[in-house]
Structure 1
Amino acid sequence: MEQPEPGQPSRLSRCLVTGASLAAVATLIMVAFTWPAVYAEPHGVPVGLVAAEPESTTIVAALEQVRPHEFTVRRYPDRDAAVQAIRHREVYGAVVVDGGPELLVASGASTIASQLIGALTGVLNPAGQTTADRPPVTDVVPLSPHDERGAGLSAFFFPLLLGGLKGGIFIAIGIQGTARRLLTLVVLTVIAGTAVAVVGQYAFRILSGSFPLNAAASGLTVAAIAATVIGLRNLFGLHGVGVGTVLIMLVGSPISAATLPVEFLPRPWGTIGQFFPPGASVSLIRAISYFPDAPTLPQWFVLCGWTLAGCLLALLTRNRPSARTRSTTPPSTKIA
């Protein structure tokens, strides 16, 4: 691209193209972060059911009639089995008839899903009964008393994402040499993961559970995002920084399920989002804080996979000119 002479104003065409391009990017950002909320609706939310026949069949039919396609019912033999399923994140809650009636929810998994399941009192409360006869709602996995609405936990993930993205951009542009970039990445991962976990768990008290696991998950989230940016920068030059930013910020973040459960996002994007660093981080840190019995190996695998892929990409492309140069802008020529 032809560069303007020093002191000369940019061409009018360049101004128009740049302005239009930036407006398009701003619009794309708005669409990416707005459309999941606009089109969010529950579909296939897993919910447990403890009831004998024929009540079980009657309740399933009533759910499908009142809330068509919103729930996927999984039957359990007793209340204890339903509670264990909630703690293992197999279901968001349960309808208990045998030994009840009672509704079980887990606000630690999602306040929105808990409200949805808690509103099913009509299924267990036939017409004509008074409000006092409605079944109790038990929160099996409540949120932290310091974050009763879950707003702090939802807000926690966005700065973590920005920290990884910002760190990756600064390392990719400001540090020369692939080995030194990766060394800086290690330092960033260790310090950022520890610091973020300290603030989230001890200062704001929105995280709970194992501190070492929270620190490791936070650091690995930063590493996965930053390593992706570094690897793409080595491959494509400075354009790779833009590619990495779009991949993480505009693709992975809106479908991460940080504010809405996976089952509320348009299909299949909620499931796809769990294979990106933001989505895996959201599920992993939530599980560490509230669901220590739930399996977390898939989330660890996703974050480690992105981190290793970014580092390998950086190493394999370390001899490319784009990996060694500071800028794609040609140096200015000296005037004799």
Structure 2
Amino acid sequence: MDQPHPDQPTRVSRCLLTGAILAVVATAIMAAFTWPAVYAEPRGVPIGLVAPQGASQAVTDALDQARPHEFVVRRYADRDEAVRAIRHRDVYGAVVVGDEAPPELLVASGASTVARQLIEALSAAFGADPSAATDRPQVTDVVPLSPHDEHGAGLSAFFFPLLLGGLKGGIFIAIGIQGTGRRLLTLAVLAGAAGVAVALVGQVVFRILGGAFALNVAASGLTIAAIAATVIGLRNLIGLHGVGVGTVVIMLVGSPISAAMLPVEFLPRPWGTIGQFFPPGASVSLIRSISYFPDAQTFAQWSVLGGWTLAGCLLAVVTAGRPSAHSRSTTPASIKAA
């Protein structure tokens, strides 16, 4: 059979099929990133309440009436205890009601500007309540955002390039580097160098990150390592098709439900919770805690990122001897010649 000339135009049928497949992919990407926002609504947002025994139930009933099903109320003995709960990320804010003083709303912009706005909207409900004080409640931001990122847009935008850096790094290593040991060596260099560079840009140049610089370096580097290691491990397991599978797992599954733009409680259940077990979701929560909530528990997020990194590396090592780990193409020769 005569081989086609290298400059021969691609068959029209193949062009049509490729265009249709790419259109489906583009639509899937759009749908994956749009549906969480379209169906987002607050459900069970944890909020604290400090109130005298007699007024506690009345305030809870008022919250249920003003915002049904939106809040889960957790009672605290005093204002200081409610503030500690906010700093530990147990609640997004709190309502403080005293016997004589007007109500006060405690919010935390560092946790979520969307949740902050939801809690601030309660001031209208208190002002409309005839039994409440005539003055609107005072709003106190317990954990404000950085003055260099007053609306939180920079922090929200920070996560997507971090995700792409890990994904593109993993794809390049999986395709461009031969040998499992050399792939893992390249991964280590990537994670270490990118972790320092990303934290330096985010914390020193743009000043949208806060907290300990070393922790931001570790969190950024481990995020990139977790994503890239997943792609590398799957590439060794099933060949170059594994690169596509890894991309889908991270980009189309993990990223839309990561809670980077909206709190977990705003995403359709149970996807918000599931998203925290993927690298993008764990990274979003971890870096936000490092920057604004140093008292919060972060063991779960470190464990998720470390677990994905370890799993990807182990998968690459265990499957190092498989032909798929060394293949340079998954396209059969007969199709190439067609």
What range describes the TM-score normalised by the shorter chain of this pair? over 0.9
Q: Deviations over 1:228-279 (max 9, x none)?
A: 0000011111110000001000100010000100001111100000000000
Tell me the equivalent position of 2:218.
Answer: 216
The SS at the match of 2:277 is: coil
Q: Does 1:322 align with 2:332?
A: no
Corresponding letter in the other structure for 1:24 = V
- Sort the Cα spacing of 1:298 and 1:11 in 2 relative to 1 into closer, same or farther, 3 A: same
Cα deviation, residue 314, structure 1 = 0.4
Cα deviation, residue 331, structure 1 = 7.0
Q: Does 1:174 align with 2:176?
A: yes
- Sort the Cα spacing of 1:229 and 1:270 in 2 relative to 1 into closer, same or farther, 3 A: same
Aligned residue among 150, 154, 157 for 2:159: 157
Cα deviation, residue 329, structure 1 = 4.0
Tell me the equivalent position of 1:255.
Answer: 257
Aligned residue among 238, 241, 247 for 2:240: 238
Matches of 2:27 and 2:128 in 1, distance apart?
49
Matches of 2:198 and 2:179 in 1, distance apart?
28
Of stretches 246-255 and 58-67 in structure 1, the one that deviates more from structure 2 is 58-67
Query: Are the equivalent residues in 2 in contact too, given 1:59–1:123 (CA < 8 A)?
Result: no
Aligned residue among 100, 112, 115 for 1:113: 115
Tell me the equivalent position of 2:59.
Answer: 59
Query: Are the equivalent residues in 2 in contact too, given 1:50–1:82 (CA < 8 A)?
Result: yes
Matches of 1:171 and 1:185 in 2, distance apart?
7
Query: Are the equivalent residues in 1 in contact too, given 2:241–2:330 (CA < 8 A)?
Result: no
**Runs (5+) with no aligned partner, structure 2:** none
**Runs (5+) with no aligned partner, structure 1:** none
Query: Are the equivalent residues in 1 in contact too, given 2:126–2:132 (CA < 8 A)?
Result: no
Tell me the equivalent position of 2:186.
Answer: 184
Tell me the equivalent position of 1:8.
Answer: 8
Q: Does 1:295 align with 2:300?
A: no
| Equivalent pairs, count | 330
Corresponding letter in the other structure for 1:280 = A
Corresponding letter in the other structure for 1:266 = P
Q: Deviations over 1:88-134 (max 9, x none)?
A: 00000000003652000000000010010011113433446999711
Matches of 1:30 and 1:253 in 2, distance apart?
12
Cα deviation, residue 9, structure 1 = 2.8
TM-score (norm 2): 0.94
Query: Are the equivalent residues in 2 in contact too, given 1:105–1:140 (CA < 8 A)?
Result: yes
Cα deviation, residue 327, structure 1 = 2.1
Matches of 2:48 and 2:153 in 1, distance apart?
26
Tell me the equivalent position of 1:77.
Answer: 77
Corresponding letter in the other structure for 2:85 = A
Tell me the equivalent position of 1:40.
Answer: 40
Cα deviation, residue 6, structure 1 = 2.9
Matches of 1:180 and 1:100 in 2, distance apart?
65
Of stretches 203-212 and 120-129 in structure 1, the one that deviates more from structure 2 is 120-129
Structure 1 vs Structure 2 CA RMSD: 1.8
Matches of 2:132 and 2:303 in 1, distance apart?
50
The SS at the match of 1:46 is: strand
Matches of 2:324 and 2:228 in 1, distance apart?
18
